[in-house]
Amino acid sequence: MKCRTSDLGGHKEKCDCCGKERISYNSCRNRHCPKCQGSRQAFWVEDRMEQMLAVKHFHIVFTIPEKLNRICMLDSKWFYNAMFECVWSTLRSFGYTHYGVESGAICVLHTWGENLCLHPNIHCIVPAAGLTLQGTLKRISKKGKYLYPAGMLSVIFRGKLLEKIKKLYHYRQPLDELWSKPWVVFCEPPMTGPVQIVKYLAGYTHRAAISNQLILEIIDNHVVFSYKDYGDNGSRKTIRLTCVEFLRRFCLHILPYRFVKIRYYGIMSSKMKILLQSKRLQHRSAEESSLQRLKRLTGFDAQQRPFCKTGRMHRVERLPRIRSPDHTIYQTREYETC
């Protein structure tokens, strides 16, 4: 709520051409904010593309049945951690059993559907390569079109996650019903390479649930927003919710404190790749600033004067955060008034 307001402070800028001034307030940088972190998203995409191996990558999605949402809401931190553990355990075991290699993955937690309801699933970027026991990199997959059987991935993932839930909560009847139903697992290579997956997942990594552009109207204690109905060939529709219901659905996707929603496993998190990436970032940071990098990636020039279009904006004054007075002052004044 305080994002880009005077509460967070900011700075005053002045144009070196026309002399006009403007005030820019700081962003909150909260990962659940629907209107900031655009630069972080662009930087994340570029960093991930530099980290990718020169092989084909597959997009694998692990989903869970809707009946598990109740268990998820009992302790979301434990449940999401259990999902990550079961996803990587499944992928790792398939890498060894099918190709005899240590595979890798970048996994991203996604919790919302188009109508903001709770729908936890984990998206994975899996390279078609792995590290053999001899320490060499080996290409895997069947002619670049097939990596792992989705049906078998579903069965193994289902068994691992339900076993964890059963040990902790000692559920029987609800879990027995879920054992008999197939779980949906998606596993296909992208049409245009790994950049397509990375850009797609970037929409999940640096925002939550909904962006401001999708909110069409707020009137009469109701919120009207646009969503894509995949059950109707992806057609764009609108939905009207009360403000309380809208906030309830939005808050379902606020992650636990310090929870890590992007995780790197196997060869995608090796010390060698991290070292190579850090060297690239150090070399790049010496050549260009963050503002220059943002302009190169997005085309947005934060220093360009919005009116005269010719001058450049320069920071002339820093605006501190607005802090509320000490609570002891209020207590003293209340006592004096009484």
Query: Could you report the per-residue pLDDT of 282-296, keeping only the tens digit for each?
Result: 555 556 777 777 777
Give the pLDDT of residue 171: 64
Q: pLDDT of 90-103, one tens digit each?
A: 999 999 999 999 99
What is the torsion angle, in degrees rounded to the nearest 10, for the CA atoms of residue 215, residue 123, residue 269 and residue 138? -140
Give the pLDDT of residue 304: 66
User: Mean pLDDT across the chain, nearest whole number?
Assistant: 82
Give the pLDDT of residue 333: 44
Question: Which one, of 40, 7, 26, 4, lies nearest residue 202 by Cα?
Answer: 40
Q: What share of the chain is helix, strand, coil (3-state, %, to 5)?
A: 45, 25, 30
More confident residue, 57 or 270: 57
Confidence of residue 323 (pLDDT cuts 50, 70, 90): low
- CA angle, residues 114, 202, 142, in degrees to nearest 5: 95
E strand or H helix at 331, and its extent?
helix 327-337
Cα gap 283→265, rounded to integer Å: 25
**Overall pTM surpassing 0.95 (yes/no):** no
- pLDDT of residue 224 exceeding 80: yes
Residues 9-13: what's their mean pLDDT? Answer: 86
More confident residue, 4 or 314: 4
Cα gap 338→332, rounded to integer Å: 10
Tracing tokens 């990587």 back to the chain, one arrives at 88
Burial call 272-310: b when 16+ CB within 10 Å, e when fewer: ebeeeeeeeeeeeeeeeeeeebbbeeeeeeeeebeeeee
Tracing tokens 């969503």 back to the chain, one arrives at 227
Give the pLDDT of residue 329: 43
Confidence of residue 215 (pLDDT cuts 50, 70, 90): very high
More confident residue, 334 or 5: 5
